[in-house]
Amino acid sequence: MITRPLVSNGAGSPAQVTAHGSSGGFGGRPPEAAGPLWAAGPARYAPGMELNGTSAVISGGASGLGEATARVLAAAGATVVIADLNEIRGKQIADEIGGQFARTDVADEASVQAAVDLAVATGEPLRTAVSCAGIGWASRTVGRDGTPHDLASYQKVIAVNLIGTFNVMRIAAAAMARTEPADEDGQRGVVINTSSVAGIEGQTGQIAYSASKGGIIGMTVPAARDLSVIGVRVNTICPGIIDTPIYGNSENAEESKARLAAPVVFPKRMGRPGEFGHLVRSLIENDYMNAEVIRFDGGIRFQPK
């Protein structure tokens, strides 16, 4: 009797269903009708793009959303290269998940090339690139004291968040293009970029951050079109308020996080990094998700302040 993974429980141990049995309430079909479950009807679905036995590059993988994603993809069988500035945390997490660490500044071409080369050198086809590296910045276009926004900090945020994301995407996709297709559609890989709801409705003082995140949204459709010829899909996630070290660990951090999360519609709390990792995995494994910008925010809509 053939068994195949139907859906994952997110912890790397897929639930099993018999291809022609009645397990899971999918009804029986004769053995000769056994084929891809997702082709057999609306209720049948099995993951498409396979993570097991592939490699993945995750920028910002040493903390927060990137770390959670690294753990989820490793649990699904991917060999993960954590590409991050933070050497101590990066190495520690890489060791824990059986991955590798590459000290990487996403804004630097040679540095990103080295991280992608490390993934290629694993010998497993590079199928996934997730950009989570990012920095925040708060300053108004013209400050209360009348001074214009500092140009260097604006350029820095654009360099890391926007140019860094482009840098990872272009270099990783070029490596994916050199792999054999993974399926009959000619699919070779998936790029997931991390924007923010601030890229859609930036608040007062978020001019630099919102510009960088809006740029990531703007790249989504043209990147998916450019990369379609090599069989690479591109999706962008816009998180709302997710509980990560980006909000700091000062005495006031809990209070300020509670204030930020108050307008969340439901569930009434911050998002969890593991929930982000789960979404990344879903977008990778669902072959028809492409060129999409997905809010991941518990329904929050940012007010001006």
Ligand X SMILES: NC(=O)c1ccc[n+]([C@@H]2O[C@H](COP(=O)([O-])OP(=O)(O)OC[C@H]3O[C@@H](n4cnc5c(N)ncnc54)[C@H](O)[C@@H]3O)[C@@H](O)[C@H]2O)c1
- Contact call for residues 198 and 302 (beta carbons, < 8 A): yes
Pick the closer one to ligand X by CB: 9 or 250: 250
The one among 115, 133, 171, 173 contacting ligand X by CB under 6 A: 133
Site for ligand X contains 235 (CB under 6 A) = no
Query: Which residue stretch of 16-24, 70-78, 132-140, 286-294 sits at the interface with ligand X (rule: CB under 6 A)?
Result: 132-140
Query: Which residue stretch of 24-32, 60-68, 92-100, 113-121 sits at the interface with ligand X (rule: CB under 6 A)?
Result: 60-68
Site for ligand X contains 168 (CB under 6 A) = no
Residues with Cβ within 8 Å of 48's Cβ and at least 6 positions away in sequence, in order, are: 38, 183, 187, 285, 286, 287
Site for ligand X contains 97 (CB under 6 A) = no
Q: How far apart, in whole angstroms, are the C-alpha atoms of residue 191 and residue 69?
A: 13
Q: Give, rounded to a whole angstrom, the gap between the first and last alpha carbons of the chain.
A: 59
Site for ligand X contains 81 (CB under 6 A) = no
Which of the residues are catalytic?
209
Give the DSSP per-residue string, 93-111: HHHHHT-EEEE--TT-HHH
Q: How far apart, in whole angstroms, are the C-alpha atoms of residue 76 and residue 149?
A: 44
> Minimum distance between the CB of residue 90 and ligand X, rounded to whole angstroms?
7
Show contacts with ligand X in window 98-117 (CB under 6 A). 104-107
Site for ligand X contains 55 (CB under 6 A) = no
Site for ligand X contains 167 (CB under 6 A) = no
The one among 73, 132, 191, 261 contacting ligand X by CB under 6 A: 132
Site for ligand X contains 210 (CB under 6 A) = no
- Contact call for residues 52 and 76 (beta carbons, < 8 A): yes
Pick the closer one to ligand X by CB: 49 or 62: 62
Residue 97: HSE in the Cβ half-sphere, 13 Å Cα cutoff: 32
Q: How far apart, in whole angstroms, are the C-alpha atoms of residue 5 and residue 165?
A: 32
Q: How far apart, in whole angstroms, are the C-alpha atoms of residue 54 and residue 291?
A: 22
Pick the closer one to ligand X by CB: 75 or 163: 163
Query: Which residue stretch of 11-19, 48-56, 57-65, 93-101 sits at the interface with ligand X (rule: CB under 6 A)?
Result: 57-65
- Contact call for residues 271 and 260 (beta carbons, < 8 A): no
146 secondary structure, DSSP code: S
**Where in 195-258 does DSSP place strands (E)?**
232-239
Number of residues that bind ligand X (CB under 6 A): 29
Nearest partner of 134 among 232, 236, 222, 220, judged by Cα: 236
Pick the closer one to ligand X by CB: 98 or 245: 245
Residue 91: HSE in the Cβ half-sphere, 13 Å Cα cutoff: 3
Site for ligand X contains 211 (CB under 6 A) = no
Site for ligand X contains 51 (CB under 6 A) = no
The one among 86, 167, 193, 290 contacting ligand X by CB under 6 A: 86
Enumerate binding residues for ligand X (CB under 6 A). 59-60, 62-66, 84-86, 104-107, 132-135, 160-161, 164, 194, 196, 239, 241-242, 244-246
